[in-house]
Structure 1
Amino acid sequence: MKQPALDAESRPRHALGDPIVLILSIGFILLFLALSIFDLDFLANAISQGFAWSALNFGTYFQFLMLVTFFIAIGLALTPAGKAKIGNLDAPELSTFKWISIILCTLLAGGGVFFAAGEPIYHFVNVPPAFDTDPGVPAAVPGALAQSFTHWGFVGWAILGSLTAVVMAHAHYVKGQPLQPRTLLYPVFGERLLRGPLGGLIDACCVIAVVAGTVGPVDFLATQVSFGLHDLFGLPNNFFTKLAVLVVLGAVYVLSSVSGVQKGMQFLSRVNVILALAIGGIIFLFGPTLFLFNSYFSGMGTYLGDFFKMVTLTAETAPAEWMQWWIVFFYAWFIAFAPLMAIFVARISRGRTIREMILAVAVMAPIATTVWFTLLGGSGIYYQLTGAVELTEALTNFQFDIATLSVAQALPGGNWMALAILLLTTIFVATTGDSMSYSIAMVGAGHDKPSAFMRAFWGIIMAVMAAVLLAMREGQIAALQQFIVITAVPVSLFLLPSLWNGPQAAYAMAREQGIID
């Protein structure tokens, strides 16, 4: 099948894409850095108030949007329209292993690798409001894992690349509309949105959300690796070590993004998945195997049995602060990434059926994530129970970098395992950096083959922002993380039409391909 020519108006008028998107995005970065330098307290207070207001007034809506998206997507995958192929290709561009590897590495690395060891232990020693067991006892294990699965499971993944990806695939590859977030709202506002300044504003909101969501993990990685190198090899844990880590990381993901999906990006993801499988296999075979098996079985059972109870917690049924920093924060993070992740998922899924894409993103990937959380977090709970590690105080203070290294050193292989997990974490974050650089460049170009210059530009911009934030106090990174929840408010409104436009686009593709009448 032949791809339709893009409308001339959707092609970039500037080397870096839409000037409105460029000016607003770069302007936000410069304004954030300037306020961080000159008045961090004002910036932190303003963002903190916006964070609290957004969580209070939109938290339940975020939960509703993600829950409904998941069930509509699964229902759509099971209909005859699920057989329609994406991207006007008869065969997939990527092999199944490469394709799944890119999906897993791109979407999980945004934060899951940082929380996989520490979060289940946190919920083990600080029992979530959905459960009434005593903390730190064996009976608290299923609830601790189930709460982690709630944050990183089915509804979180579904918002990233199911209905919105279907809308994007049909709009771009069939109708020739730009591969930009504004296209999600085309059915509502029509043609003027694709060419007017409102479209640029919508795209800029989504780019800013992704920059905020990506720079945070990049900085956290530099901090975590620096701490690990200090603990393992005695290297100084200071700004220069963190900067060196950041330079290496930035170089890797920029080169990967520039080389493209078929080369560096799929290679990096494939290496990452192979390394994760090797580490996971060692943990399962030589670690607390029976405990991990039983914990996953009971944790998944609790997750499925209490699914609605946990996903539909609100500030009326749980402490408001807990809701803000767990359910709402994570769900807002997923929502903030969703438009650009939809663009990326649609790009790498060309030649796949709608059913394959939805089931891979909304079912297979979450199950793989829950297994990963059980291997690392479940092992951490076991060592916490046996006294091999004591992380109650560190995790209560949200020191997840300490938790990850402590659990890694307690695993089979000790320091070697810790080094392997640090390497794995680095590659995971690099896969997020390259995919988001590529996605932002696609937004600027309006199609799926942005220039290497554009990809490198955005990768470098995020690395530079991360370096500047590292040079400041930790408050800037915390403020940036809270800002994600604020950006999720407008982005969530951009996603809302996909609840009905996703099925419409799928059935349109199925009719065009002769699958249904």
Structure 2
Amino acid sequence: MGLRTDTVIFFVSAGLTVAFVTVAIAATETVDRVFSRLSGWILHHLGWLYILGVTTFLLFLVWIALSRWGHVRLGGHDARPEYGNRAWFAMLFAAGIGTILMFWGVAEPISHWAEPPRADVEPRSEEAAELAMAFSFYHFGLHTWSIFCLPALAFAYFVHQRRLPFRLSSVLQPILGDRIHGPLGRVVDITAVLGTLFGVAVSIGLGTLQINSGLAQLFGIEESQPVQVLLITVVTIIATISVALGLDRGIKRLSTLNIGMAVGLLTFVFLTGATVFLARGIIEMLGVYLGSLVPLAFWNDTFANTGWQGQWTVFYWAWTITWSPFVGMFIARISRGRTIREFVLGVLALPTAFTIVWFSVFGLSAIDIEREGDTGLVEAVVVQGDVSRALFVFLENYPLATVVSGVSVLIVVIFFTTSSDSASLVVDTLCSGDREEPGPVRQRVFWAITEGVVAGTLIAATGKSGLDALAEVITVLGLPFFLLAFLMMISLVRALNTDYPELRRPQLPRSIRRMPRSAQRARPTPGGPVPGPGPGPEDTPGAPPGERPVGDT
């Protein structure tokens, strides 16, 4: 057929995708009921594990960045970054949560301000505003990017350093050994392909709802299934063209253009709104985030047990983890030549800093506008539950509202396009495992079209409930990815210890390690001098003062 791919991974993934869509159309209620129960069980019984796990990912990444392995360069000592910092940041951000910021930048702060997550906080109060901003930063800041950064670092190391295929199974080589090339490895890779397809399909569906809301606000176009299917078709065509052009000519240019437009929208809201209030608020909200980071990182709603965390935080983590192979592999692909320390701090710090500024400007502006008078934001987001319309209701309070809303629709379209074409590139790479070139263009085009077909078919056949059902499916699929992330940490440390033995910490023999410290100090260092009468370390010829002679170890 002229394809260059792994036959089993490619055709099994494609077949399961078609089978799922067919069953979802034919038996929507049954599929919804089954996955609703499974996702409900996961959210209720394993929510605490998600909270603890994502915090563990963050702590692990900070530790490894600051560790003795931080200076290890991905791709070898002589490797240098292929993309400059600005292009690198634009691509990793556009492929990560750029779409989510457009969708939730106004909606989440307003929602938590009107209905605080904690019952002891008065709605629409100053405390509720601070809590709303803290939760928004928590959901889209360091923790979300930790979910992306961990698999990205694992991919980057095993692909660029050990020259393994660009597949999820490769990051488990220190644990599975040669079995990564067998049936077990293919099961892992097929799961990664399905998780990426379903996650992108849900995001395309949600983006379509937001685009449709924006067009309805601007031109009075009705919000209906035919319009949404048409919008998905347009986004899919643009994504297909972009992915056919390749990483440099397509995705890079779209990402750079999009981040520039997003910064322009951010600047417009900042300058035409309550500028002084926002300038003060950005600084203050940074302090709020830093002060609440540790409590929120371990908060499990233990006493109240309202179920709020399962609907918000745990669902975010479960959904984000299904994206992690896609975003992680894409970031790894564009990050060859960077050190581990540069990679981790860049992936965690740069997008988080932008997220804090974005949510501060849009979230605080929305809360301030709603405090001054009822503008319909709370009504749209909280009462009606129309989250997709929040941004456009918000922009009605600014000059040139029609023009700015039109630009916002274009930004959303490009954000979702870059997510779709990046996902197509990654899915094809997952199937082929090729480090340099994923395969013929038609393979990437196939996956770009498949993503659009999955989202479009679900909207056309079942409407919004179909997307809700798919969201529950990826919540269930998120659990194995979450467990794999723990294995990634173990695998990465094992590989670093094996590949860089000179960076291991010196270890005393086990028999000496079991002795009290006073006895250990009296024991001779292997290969070194025997303690006893005679000159001390300071009397050793040629030894600096206070330095003890050591042996071979």
Give the TM-score of the pair, scaled to structure 2: 0.85
Name the counterpart of 1:113. Answer: 102
8 Å contact 1:181–1:340 — kept in the other structure? no
Partners of 1:30 and 1:288 in 2: CA distance: 50
In the alignment, is residue 466 of structure 1 matched against residue 455 of structure 2? yes
Structure 2's unaligned 5+ residue stretches are 507-552
Q: Which residue of 1 aligns with 2:82?
A: 93
Alignment-derived partner of residue 217 in structure 1: 203
Contact residue 282 and residue 412 of structure 1 kept, 8 A:
no
Determine the structure 1 residue equivalent to 2:122. Answer: 134
Partner of 1:75: 63
Counterpart of 1:442 in structure 2 is: 429
Structure 1 Cα separation of the partners of residues 399 and 273 of structure 2: 6
Amino acid corresponding to residue 110 of structure 2 in structure 1: I
SS in 2 for 1:86: coil
Aligned to 2:479: 489
- What does 1:119-268 correspond to in 2, within 5 Å? 119-129=108-118, 132-161=120-149, 163-192=150-179, 194-268=180-254
In structure 2, what is the Cα distance between the partners aligned to 1:59 and 1:289? 39
What is the rounded CA distance, in whole Å, between the counterparts of 1:247 and 1:38 in structure 2?
22
Q: Does 1:500 align with 2:483?
A: no
Cα deviation digits, residues 410-431 of structure 1 (max 9, x gap): 2342121111111111111111
Tell me which amino acid in the other structure corresponds to 2:47. Answer: G
CA–CA separation in structure 1 for the residues paired with 2:83 and 2:153: 18
Q: Find the residue that maps to 1:235 and give its secondary structure.
A: coil
Over 3 Å counting, the alpha-carbon distance change for 1:353 and 1:425 in structure 2 is same
Structure 2 letter corresponding to 1:92? P
Q: Does 1:48 align with 2:36?
A: yes
Residue 395 of structure 2 corresponds to 408
The 8 Å contact of residues 164 and 502 in structure 1, kept in 2 or not, is answered as no
**8 A contact 2:236–2:452 mirrored in 1:** yes
1:82 and 1:506 in contact (8 A); partners too: no
For residues 184-213 of structure 1, what are the alpha-carbon distances to aligned partners after superposition, in whole Å with 9 as ceiling and x for unaligned? 222222102x22111111111121111111
Distance 1:512 1:476, change over 3 A: farther
In structure 2, distance between residues paired with 1:41 and 1:508: 51
Check whether the contact 1:121–1:377 (CA below 8 A) recurs between aligned residues. yes
The structure with the larger Rg is 2
Could you tell me how far apart the structure 2 residues matched to 1:25 and 1:380 are?
43
C-alpha distance in 2 between matches for 1:91 and 1:120: 40
Q: How does 1:340-379 map to 2 (within 5 A)?
A: 340-379=326-365
Shift of 1:466: 1.3
2:282–2:357 contact (8 Å) kept in structure 1? yes
Aligned residue for 2:286, secondary structure, equals: helix
Deviation, structure 1 residue 182: 1.0
Structure 1, residues 106-144: CA drift from partner, whole Å, max 9, x if none? 111353321111011101101112x73311123321111
Partner SS, residue 306 of structure 1 = helix
- Number of residue-to-residue matches in the alignment: 501
Q: Among residues 318, 323, 330, which one is paired with 1:332 in the alignment?
A: 318
Instruction: Give the aligned residue type for 2:61.
Output: A
Q: CA deviation at 1:296?
A: 2.7
TM-score by length of 1: 0.91
Query: Using the alignment, how far apart are the partners of 1:454 and 1:109 within structure 2?
Result: 26
Return the alpha-carbon distance in structure 2 between the equivalents of residues 284 and 487 of structure 1: 39
CA distance in 2: counterparts of 1:434 and 1:509, whole angstroms: 35
SS at match of 2:423: helix
Contact 1:335-1:488 at 8 Å conserved across structures? yes
1:285-296 mapped onto 2 (5 Å cutoff) = 285-296=271-282
Quote the Cα distance in structure 1 between the aligned partners of 2:399 and 2:491.
49
Structure 1 unaligned regions, length at least 5: 1-12
Distance in 2 (alpha carbons) for counterparts of 1:83 and 1:96: 18
**Aligned AA (2:154):** V
Identify which of 412, 415, 424 aligns with 1:428: 415
Aligned pair partner of 1:26 in 14, 17, 24:
14
Question: CA offsets, 1:207-254, max 9 Å, x none?
Answer: 111111111121122222122212211234333322332222111212
Partner amino acid, structure 2, of 1:99: W
Give me the whole-angstrom Cα distance separating, in 2, the residues matched to 1:206 and 1:112: 24
Change (3 A) 1:81 1:67: same
| Aligned counterpart, 1:5 | none
> Relative to structure 2, which stretch is displaced further, 269-278 or 78-87?
78-87
Measure, in 2, the Cα distance between the counterparts of 1:479 and 1:112. Answer: 23
What is the CA–CA distance in structure 1 between the aligned matches of 2:74 and 2:40, rounded to whole Å? 40
Letter of the aligned partner of 2:418 in structure 1?
Answer: T
Give the deviation of 1:443 after TM superposition.
0.5
Q: Structure 2: how far apart are the matches of 1:80 and 1:253?
A: 41
Deviation, structure 1 residue 365: 0.8
Instruction: State the AA in 2 paired with 1:490.
Output: P
Hey, what's the Cα distance between the residues in 2 that align with 1:483 and 1:320?
Answer: 23
User: Residue 154 of structure 1 contacts residue 362 of structure 1 at CA under 8 Å; is this kept in 2?
Assistant: yes
Following superposition, the deviation at residue 503 of structure 1 comes to: 3.9
TM-align CA RMSD: 2.4
For residues 55-79 of structure 1, the C-alpha deviation after alignment (integer angstroms, 9 at most, x for no partner) is: 1232222222211111121122123
After superposition, give the CA deviation of every residue in 1:346-368 in whole Å (9 maximum; x if it has no partner): 11001122112111111211121
% identical equivalent positions: 26
